[in-house]
């Protein structure tokens, strides 16, 4: 069974991560599939997995009549 509350929570966590990295001076290096790679202000890099957002969108589409 699909847990909509958990899906929303997981998607929100990834959005918050992305926002945090942008606010901290991160810049997008590239987006490949559901992975966003960012260059950070301290010359490091990180990735944010947006798959939870895609899962939420798919679930919402399935709920539509």
* Residue 2: predicted pLDDT: 72
d(CA 50, CA 63): 21
pLDDT of amino acid 64: 80
pLDDT digits (tens, 9 = 90+) for 1-54: 678 999 999 999 999 999 999 999 999 999 999 999 999 999 999 999 999 999
Name the residue ranges covered by the structural domains of the chain.
4-63
Is the CB of residue 22 less than 8 Å from the CB of residue 10? no
Return the beta strands (E) in the chain as ranges.
27-32, 35-39, 45-49
Residue range 4-63, CATH number: 2.30.30
């Amino acid at each position: 069974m699909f847990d909509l509350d958990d899906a929303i929570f997981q998607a929100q966590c990834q959005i918050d991560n992305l926002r945090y990295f942008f606010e901290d001076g991160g810049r997008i290096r590239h987006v490949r599939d559901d992975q966003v790679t960012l260059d950070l202000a301290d010359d490091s890099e990180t990735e944010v997995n947006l798959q939870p957002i895609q899962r939420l969108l798919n679930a919402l589409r399935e709920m539509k009549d």
